[in-house]
Amino acid sequence: MGSVTSFFGGLCRKQVKIEEERLFRANDRPYNLSYQYANNAIRTSKYNVFTFLPLNLFEQFRRLANAYFMFLMVLQLIPQISSLSWFTTAVPLILVLSITAVKDASDDINRHTSDKQVNNRMVNVLIDGELKKEKWMNVQVGDIIKLENNQFVTADLMLLSSSEPLNLVYVETAELDGETNLKVKQALTVTGDLGDSTDLLAHFNGEVRCEPPNNRLDKFKGTLSLDGQTYSLDNDKVLLRGCTLRNTEWCFGLVIFGGPDTKLMQNSGKTTFKRTSIDHLMNVLVLCIFGFLASMCAILAIGSAIWEGVGAGLTSFLSFWSYVIILNTVVPISLYVSVEIIRLGNSFYIDWDRKMYYPKNDTPAHARTTTLNEELGQIKYIFSDKTGTLTQNIMAFNKCTINGKAYGELFDFSGQRVEITEKTERLDFSWNQLADPKFIFHDHSLLETVKEGNPEAQDFFRLLALCHTVMPEEKNEGELYYQAQSPDEGALVTAARNFGFVFRSRTPESITAMEMGKQVTYELLAVLDFNNVRKRMSVIVRSPEGKLTLYCKGADTIIYERLHPSCNKLKEVTTRHLNEYAGDGLRTLVLAYKDLDEDYMDKWRKRHHEASTAMDGREEMLDELYEEIEKDLQLLGATAVEDKLQDGVPQTIEQLAKADIKIWVLTGDKQETAENIGYSCNMLREEMKEIFVVAANTPEGVKEELVNARKKMCPESADEPSVISSRAGLFWLQKIERVEDEKVEGEYGLVINGHSLAFALEKDLHLELLRTACMCQTVICCRVTPLQKAQVVQLVKKYKQAITLAIGDGANDVSMIKAAHIGVGISGQEGMQAVLSSDYSFAQFRYLQRLLLVHGRWSYLRMCKFLQYFFYKNFTFTFVHFWYAFFCGFSAQTVYDEWFITLYNLVYTSLPVLGMSLFDQDVNDRWSSQYPQLYTPGQLNLYFSKKMFVRCMLHSCYSSLILFFIPWAAMYDTVRDDGKDIADYQSFALLAQTCLLIVMSVQLCLDTFYWTAVNQFFVWGSLASYFAITLTMYSNGMFLIFTSYFPFIGTARNSLTQPNVWLTIFLTSLLCILPVVAYRFIVLQLRPTVNDKVRHKLRKEALPAPAPRRPPTRRISTRRSGYAFSHAQGYGDLVTSRRFLLRLPLKSRPALFSQTDSPLAQNQPQHYRTIAEGQEDAQSP
Amino acid sequence: MMASSYNAKEEDANHPGAANHAGAGVVKSKKPDNTAFKQQRLPAWQPILTAGTVLPAFFVIGLIFIPIGIGLYVTSNNIKEFEIDYTGANIDNPCYNCAKNFSWNSTAQCVCAVTFTLEQPFESNVFMYYGLSNFYQNHRRYVKSRDDSQLNGDRSALTNPSKECEPYRRSEGSPIAPCGAIANSLFNDTLQLYHIDSNGTLNEIPLVKKGIAWWTDKHVKFRNPGGNNNLTVAFQGTSKPVNWKKPVFELDPEDPENNGFINEDFIVWMRTAALPTFRKLYRIIQKKASTTPTLPSGKYVLNVTYNYPVLSFDGRKRMILSTISWMGGKNPFLGIAYITVGSICFFLGVVLLIIHHKYDNRNNSADIPN
């Protein structure tokens, strides 16, 4: 019954006006039905059995090409016009239509099955006071449903009650926004009290008034009216379809939006259809060709009028259309089909590539879009996310310096640095039962030092174990899990843990740690929290012995100012080490401590208490207090944490830079972190002349900084950007503005933060930003929101007319991935959202090199070669008709046999050209990577452009002249060697078409760089099939059976035995080919391209050895990293808050502390607090 | 593992087991198959244009083409050909009157005699052609205007010719056989050749009218309806093409093997020409004895029964006498073209050689910019 109502609902819904507000009552189906809201059935399929044929055909004929061929076919049915039989167009058209139809049908069948499967999932629905199993598709708005753990959320629900305390539920939203961490939702208390009592729930009659269906995942507004009271509803009370219920036994929810109205479905669908620049060029060219076709036909029609003499208006009109039919082969239907096949083939190569397969999580590369391949060979700008894309989002405690001694590096006997690889022996931490098995360290001396009881080393790790805001979780004895707010902190605490200082548990007043196997509990007196200005954090603890100590860790510059003068010597040594670490791109932190005396501490605590309870100026007072106590510190040492890059990132970036691709990093991270990564992956280099940092807070400031930077790079650059306006696209309707590149001496870098970026993206500054940024070698944008990421991409896309690629792994990269010409998703840890909206996906950033430099380059090369050859082949074919028109009274007589016209594109020339465009490679993959500069022709559009097209046309013009006039001259008034006819129409047709086909085959051979057996087979096979088919069609049998279709009987036998026919064929082929060879040879000699040079080199040399392993270069850096934690303020309060601890045993979700660089995720801590504090607030009406 | 130590090859080598696992059925790995095709490593030959291949090719082509060209040219030059225009467009042409007074309705035949002199004797078999100019036998509407089924003897097509034949499909209610414009415009001049010997007597030269059409045309493509026994009966109920003076079954009443649709003059005509100027084989003059030339030099008279008007469309009619070689009739073009192309090739080869010598260093020593 449900489906019936939904059917009618579906019908009626079309008439219903746009919903402005949604109003419904719980448990009141008849009332809710009156609004005709969509039920929960979804339909993503397009057709059913009956509508398939008409709808699909309609869809297909909406494509211009198909409609055009249909029109041609209709023309051919008019006998006065028809210069060709109907089958010349019908056969290809039907073939194309049916292939597409089969593909569409199979796609739709898949969608049907998945719809069916989803619609038939079962869920518990409360009907008439009873829980009944019901299919998903029968769920209605206003129904109350019960969800159990790990179930998918059926529809968009308002949470009523849950099994968990405080009516909390945990959901995983991976399918929606890609984040794998759990999110917390909480029901209103008034509904939470309903519990799981079906009675109460069945009598729940709240009325919900809320916003109409929309696609905003992060917003919801509505009210619940219950017993005369109104409660407000927000996003926290709503479970969205697509989420999964986790760690929650059960929950009840009220259906708000069903099926097509859910936010999930509203978000899916309208995917923007990306087209490549070659597509656009092809459209323009096809249009030009049509214009050209029309003018050719007009010329011939005029010719016909003159030839026919007076009163030939009608004849010449008919002749115009006849020529439209004959000359339409300039744009054959097979062009589009072949282009699709080539792209598909190249996509498969990407899927099949073992060198882009990541064995660790069994992920092959995947081309999700099969229509963009050649654009991979034209990328000019890459926009990359940082976390999870360049980095693994894993922090590793890598090195440290304790009391002037550096640890963490290995040296051989001669004192040379030894490179650490996976095979290097790791430290054995098995003596420590609480050690984290995943922790890796190589330097034995550190462990020995600690075990020997070196006090500084012990203090060092004690500090790491105590001074932090990490939350421990010990599910089973000895199984410790740390919930660190930032991965750096987690890495440091884990390091301390493995070296014998295990942080075990905390209360607001104490921290318990295992120190070398001994349990010690420290009294936690104060946490001097981190913030952006302080760039440090401290804790004050009292040891069991009663010793008061302040432990502080922070950015080197900050701590150094606060050190006791007695540490000066140590400071120098440490500074040297810090410089080395910074040079290696490690994130450093300096550790210091200070012993405090009891009296001072007492006073300080009192003042601290006063300050923290003060009504105004609390922050300033606290800062002052902290400043006062954090001085005269004793330096302990420094840590160096590696933000682990993914494998091969620096090399990949280097290679891509050599290919003249500019890489911009757009990250949500802090400036320091981003800069750090910039250095460690070789994007920012010490040799750069200058690295500009734009971090102003006003539009004027931003402008000034940008202009200054630009003037420094290029003093003579004009004040006003030179915007070149032009028109392009179909019908030249599209306005194009482009900003020219400006020449810059030397390399520069630009770092711009989110605030400044917001101003710089405004209308009046964006060109300024673009000019400055494009002058720099490297651009890093930090603290960028997803929207800004997309804006930056669009800015470059719009004004540079360059092909852009965006690569990312998280939900925050989706906008950028969709905005760029090509989106690449890293199938990594942050969920699947980026992958789902991407065009290509793979597991590691380094595969980008292969995707672009090998697959992209090949695809581009192949596509361009294909188009060049294809246009050449068809233009030549067609022009011959044009020349013949002058010898046949402009009567639209064809030069070739009709069957040849039908089969030329379909059979005789299709496979060889496909073979070339599927297998061709100028140089193999190794050489492609060896010489990244081979990539640049693609960026400059050198292989196929309007210029190339014109050249192609001139070439075919020449060839067609040869192809027509040589046979013409050779056959003029000639007879066979027995005196009989050979200059007849049929023999001439055979001669012309044989010449044409042989010339085309030879030309193809000349264009092919890479001759596989398949190519050989296709070329020879096509020629052989031509002769076989021709002989068959011209045979007695065919004529006697289908007399009127095969009138060429005997032509092949009679004319192919003549020596002068073969001499003509030979002459024609040579005349077509020789100039090409000579031209190419001269160009090769005079102006060889990089490509030619490499190909020459390749002949002489063996494969290049893989790039030699370079030992990690050590840069001596004077640059120090700041407190590079992706830390947020406020955690100090949290760990010392009572309320927090009350909640702690309840559930400590990973979600609460998981860290991502997405701004979405950054509000999680606050989110958490709203729940904690919101217990009273949320219920107030 | 330090990032910089990454090596793709190593990674590949480190995990060779993945595919084996799949084979063993333990875990279905998604690792792509290691086949040459899928990895785009198909063995291939990668030719490039080098001086070592291009230059010799040019010289060799030059060296081959020039002798062939010379051979062709000499052959073509050895062919004896004589051509005479008998259209009668000019007043001094003997056929002027016939051409001028031509009328479709007259039943009287106009005969004109054209005299000419052969300077040289024609030794071997001589082929006699008629040539037409400015005759667009390749016009689309003309080419289409035939019914191959009818010509192949199909009975239903005989009585109901294809629509393509319009407007020469029916005449006075009965179907035309053979229908269509091509058949309708059949060349119907009669040419007779006389040799005037030294004492002034005219000796008619025997002209063979069979063996002038393609074998396939004569035996497969064209067939008389209902066997060849009684053509008059077979063609009953059809009418002759409008412009014809006699019906199709009277084309050659003497020889049933050459009558009706399989009349060779008709077949030759029906094989439409590709170009507006064309010649068609009319008769063959067989060589009689090995000692005397087929056509000795001297004076000849061509007797033309002038039935075929061409002046209305500015056409021209010619009679051509020609001998034949292995490469067909006289056509100096191929020979000249081969010689020219061969010379150009040779010349280009030299030019390329110079260019190569001058610039090759640049190519080889130049490093690829990094």
DSSP letter string, A106-141: HHHHHHHHHHHHHHT-EEEEEETTEEEEEEGGG--T
Whose tokens are 């007849």? That residue is: A984
Please name the member of A648, A658, A925 whose beta carbon is closest to the beta carbon of B6.
A648
Closest Cβ opposite residue A359 in set B31, B138, B284: B31
Cα–Cα distance measured from residue A1173 to residue B150, given in angstroms and rounded to the nearest whole number: 100
Which of A572-581, A937-946, A1171-1180, B165-174 comes out lowest in average pLDDT?
A1171-1180
Percent pLDDT > 90 in chain A is 20
The CA–CA distances, whole Å, from A819 to A214, A440, A814, A1160 equal: 21, 40, 8, 19
Give the pLDDT of residue A1133: 64
Q: d(Cα A106, Cα A100) in Å, to the nearest integer?
A: 10
Interface test with B, best of A1084, A1092, A1110 (most B CBs within 10 A): A1084
Q: How far apart are the first and last CA of chain B?
A: 29
More confident site: A785 or A559 = A559
pLDDT of residue A315: 85
Average pLDDT over residues A1115-1133: 52
Cβ pair B318, B279 in contact under 8 A: yes
CA A207: distance to chain centroid? 43
Cβ–Cβ of A648/B3 closer than 8 Å? yes
pLDDT of residue A103: 81
Q: What pLDDT, on a 0 to 100 scale, did the predictor assign at position B69?
A: 94
Q: Residue window 112-141, chain B: list those with CB within 8 Å of chain A.
A: 125, 127, 129, 131, 136-141
Contact at 8 Å (CB) between A403 and A684?
A: no
Under the banding of pLDDT at 50, 70 and 90, the label for residue B359 is confident
Query: If pLDDT is split at 50, 70 and 90, which confidence band does A1177 have?
Result: very low
Q: What is the pLDDT of residue A878?
A: 93
List, in order, residues 6 or more apart from B229 with CB less than 8 Å away: none
What is the pLDDT averaged over residues A849-855?
93
Q: Which of residues 281-300 of B touch A (CB under 8 A)?
A: 281, 284
Q: What per-residue confidence (pLDDT) applies to A259?
A: 82
**Cβ of A419 and B2 within 8 Å?**
yes
Highest-confidence segment of A94-108, A305-319, A872-886: A872-886
A37-93 pLDDT tens trace: 888 888 877 788 888 888 888 888 877 778 888 888 888 888 878 878 777 788 888
**pLDDT per residue as tens digits for the range A1135-1156:** 665 544 443 333 333 333 333 3
Say whether B31 and A1011 touch across the interface (CB within 8 A): no
* pLDDT value at residue B56: 93
Question: Is B297's pLDDT higher than 60?
Answer: yes
On the question of pLDDT at B229 being above 80, the answer is: no
d(CA B358, CA B345): 20
Per-residue pLDDT at B43 exceeds 50: yes
Residues of A in contact with B33 (CB under 8 A): 352
Nearest to B328 among A1012, A1060, A1088 (CB): A1060
Chain A contact set for B152 (CB, 8 A): 1039-1040, 1043
How far is it, in rounded angstroms, from Cα B1 to Cα A448?
Answer: 23
Q: Cα–Cα distance between A83 and A317 in angstroms, integer?
A: 13
**What pLDDT sits at residue A1131?**
59
Q: Is the pLDDT of residue B144 over 70?
A: yes
Yes or no, beta carbons of B5 and A984 under 8 Å apart: no
Task: Name the closest residue on chain A to residue B131, using Cα atoms.
Answer: A973
For residue A1071, what is the nearest residue in chain B, using CA coordinates? Answer: B341
Which pLDDT value is given to residue A349? 93
The active-site residue, picked from A261, A385, A643, A1007, is A385
Q: CB A1059: neighbour CB atoms within 10 A? A: 14
- Helix, strand or coil, per DSSP, at residue A891: coil
Identify any residues that bridge with A473 across adjacent strands, giving them in sequence order.
Answer: A481
What's the token pair of residue A851? 């995707």
Which neighbouring-strand residues pair with B301? B115, B194
Mean predicted lDDT score pLDDT of chain B: 84
Task: Taking the CA atoms of A773, A779, A785 and A788 in sequence, report the sign of the dihedral they define.
Answer: positive
Identify which of B309, B338, B266, B370 has the alpha carbon closest to the alpha carbon of residue B98: B309
| A832 in contact with chain B, both atoms CB, cutoff 8 A | no
Q: Helices (H) and strands (E) in chain A — how many of each?
A: 45, 38
Using the predicted structure, report yes or no on whether residue A173 has a pLDDT greater than 90: no
CA nearest to B1 within chain A: A421
Contact A1040, A978 (CB under 8 A): no
pLDDT score recorded for residue A935:
92
B155 touches chain A (CB under 8 A): no
Q: What is the pLDDT of residue A1155?
A: 37
Q: What is the pLDDT of residue B369?
A: 57
Q: Which residue has the higher pLDDT, A679 or B344?
A: B344
**Cβ neighbours of B206 (radius 10 Å):** 11
A1: pLDDT strictly greater than 50: no
State whether the Cα torsion B270-B271-B277-B282 is positive or negative: negative
> Would you call A982 an interface residue with chain B, using a CB distance cutoff of 8 Å?
yes
pLDDT at A17: 57
Structure confidence by residue, pLDDT tens digits, A513-559: 888 888 899 998 888 888 777 888 899 999 888 889 999 998 888 88
| A78 vs B contacts (CB less than 8 Å) | none
Q: Is the pLDDT of residue B21 over 60?
A: no
Above 50 in pLDDT, residue A913? yes
Average pLDDT, rounded, for chain A: 82
Q: DSSP state, A1104?
A: P
CB of B365 within 8 Å of a chain A CB? The answer is no
Is pLDDT of A468 > 70? yes
pLDDT recorded at residue A999: 96
Residues of A in contact with B47 (CB under 8 A): 1011
Q: Is A22 annotated as a binding residue?
A: no
Distance CA A488, CA A1127 (A): 9
Of all residues in chain A, the percent with pLDDT exceeding 70 is 88
Please indicate whether residue A1133 is annotated as part of the active site.
no
Q: Output DSSP code: residue A370.
A: S
Over the stretch A687-713, which tens digit does the pLDDT of each residue have?
788 888 888 888 888 888 888 888 888
Is A146 one of the annotated binding-site residues?
no
Test mutation, A855, A923, A973, chain B, max B CBs within 10 A: A973
B329·A981 Cβ contact <8 A: no
User: Which DSSP letter does residue A567 get?
Assistant: G
Buried b (16+ CB within 10 A) or exposed e, B120-132: eebeebbbbbbbb
Q: Which residue of A has its CA nearest to B356?
A: A1085
Q: If we measure between CA atoms, which residue out of B100, B91, B101, B86 comes closest to residue B300?
A: B86
Amino acid identity at B329: G
Question: In this complex, do B42 and A1013 lie within 8 Å of one another by their Cβ atoms?
Answer: yes
Question: What is the spatial distance between Cα B233 and Cα A380, in angstroms, rounded to a whole number?
Answer: 83
Known binder of ligand: residue A553? yes
Chain B CA closest to residue A392: B3
Give the phi and the psi of residue A357 in degrees, each rounded to 5. -100, 135
Q: In this complex, is the C-beta atom of A80 within 8 Å of any C-beta atom belonging to chain B?
A: no
Burial of residue A1016 (CB within 10 Å: 0-12, 13-18, 19+) is middle
Q: For A222-264, what is each residue's pLDDT tens digit?
A: 888 888 888 888 888 888 888 888 778 889 999 998 888 888 7
Give the separation between CA A621 and CA A760, rounded to whole angstroms: 36
Residue B356, CA distances (Å) to A1095, B51, B361 in order? 17, 7, 9
Among the partner-chain residues A925, A1054, A1109, the one whose CB lies closest to the CB of B214 is: A1054
Task: Mark yes or no for CB contact B61/A1070 under 8 Å.
Answer: yes
Rounded to an integer, what distance in angstroms lies between the CA atom of residue B9 and that of residue A278? 34
User: Which is more confidently placed, A915 or A428?
Assistant: A915
Per-residue pLDDT tens for B301-340? 999 998 888 888 889 999 999 999 888 888 899 999 999 9
Instruction: Give the angle subtended at the CA of A606 by the CAs of A601 and A612, to the nearest 5°.
Output: 120
Q: For the ranges A616-630, A928-942, B329-343, which has the lowest average pLDDT?
A: A616-630
Contacts of residues B364-368 at CB distance under 8 Å and 24 or more positions apart, as own/partner, are B364/A1096, B366/A1088, B366/A1093, B368/A931, B368/A933, B368/A1090, B368/A1093, B368/A1094, B368/A1097
Number of neighbouring beta carbons within 10 Å of residue A215: 13
Q: What is the pLDDT of residue A949?
A: 92
Measured between beta carbons, the chain A residues lying within 8 angstroms of B75 are none
